[in-house]
Amino acid sequence: MRRLIFAIFISIVSFSPALAGPDGTTTIKESVEAAVKHHPQIKALLHNRDAVSNDLSSALGRFFPSLDLSVNYGLQNYDSRATRIDNKDGDTNTASDSTLTLTQNVFDGMNRYNDYQGSKNRLESAEHRLYDNVENIALDAIRAHIDIVRERKLVALAGENITAHQEVLDSIAERVAGGAGNKADEMQARGRVARAETTLISDMGALRIAEAEYRRVTGLQAGPLQDTGFQMDAIPASMDTIMDKALDNNPKVKAIKADVAATERDKGVVTAAYMPTVNIELSSRYTDDLDGSETYLNDNRAMLALNWNLFNGTSDYYDRQSADDRIKETKATLQDTVEDLSRQVATAWTEYQTAVQSIQKHQEALQYSMESRDMYLMQFNVGQRSLLDVLDSINEVFSNSVLLETAMSNREFSLYRFLTLEGRLINALEVKQAAYDPEAQ
């Protein structure tokens, strides 16, 4: 059983960044590119953006004239005073009626303009929502990447912990075999080795879970991953600095601001219903044998047509009330989003500060525990310390090492989270738009 555990341990840590060379390791940027390239949610938002872009083109088309052709051909039985005078009231003739009409709207109460501007706002919103999801999926990929790097380090630490306990056990077993040791000490050491092996098994399970999450997010098998490292130049100056950048650049906030502008334009569209519409109409009509006539007719016109609805059952009034409520809704959503963003920034800053302060203390604790372990081992060898003191000191070194790695991992992730809240993660990683948007290639 023990050999199996060590075999699994060796197979896992062989993929750790510390053992992998600079070539062939997957960087944070590569993990992010893989995630944003394959994620179905991004593909759905790309299609949504394209659909909204087509809506904008459609809205622009309303500024151009329309050309309509109407053609009617068939049999007509026409009965009128004129046909009865000519005794043709029972005749059935082959008749045709064709009309070509060119219509250009010159005034519609700003309906077309507001519709076009609203479509531009909706396209802007769709683009910001796409970018917001790209940023968050990129952050998920970074979280999965960092988790694997951390879990592999914890597995390595668990292996070192087993080795440290095994060395003590071997020393005790050798003394017992020589008649100079205590059998109870040997049993205690064996129990601690078993506990250390259990910790390794647990850490390997956590690693497998992290690798599965990485595969889900990026679509890749987790091979050798490059350690992110700590970027000193990425340390934020203060929470207020992050807050200002987030409020100015966060794509989710920008998307909802565009939604507010779009709903205001929608109000302009429904308000246009109170105004008349004025069209220039150029038409040419040709008929042959129509309405009992035995000849053709040409009717060419250039007309200025005004249409004005004076009453439609109060529908326009309630449409405008609905538009006002939509504006209030999006403004309330914007306020809620800004408040939630402020909360996220404050939470992220607190977690970052906690991680930074913890790292310093964990480093001190680790250094002291290593020194204590070494002194306890020397004192144990001369009979001045008990085996329990030695085993506890070894376990304390392991515990402090785990806490230090976890705190360092949290600190690194916090820096990437700040960039996401500021809407700068993709640009900071230098990930090109073509990585997730085929049209950008």
H or E stretch covering 231: none
CATH of 2-429 among 1.20.1600.10, 3.40.50.1980, 3.10.450.240, 1.10.3720.10: 1.20.1600.10
Looking at residue 25, the DSSP 8-state letter turns out to be P
Q: What are 373-379's contacts with CB under 8 Å, separation 24+?
A: 373/397
Split the chain (441 residues) into runs of 10 and give each run's mean pLDDT. 49 42 78 95 97 97 97 85 70 90 97 98 98 98 97 97 94 82 87 96 97 96 86 77 94 98 98 97 92 84 96 94 98 98 96 94 97 93 88 96 96 94 94 91 69
Alpha carbon distance 274, 316 (integer Å): 7
Does the pTM of the predicted model rise above 0.85? Answer: yes
Alpha carbon distance 435, 37 (integer Å): 6
67 beta partners: 102
The domain locations on the chain are 2-429
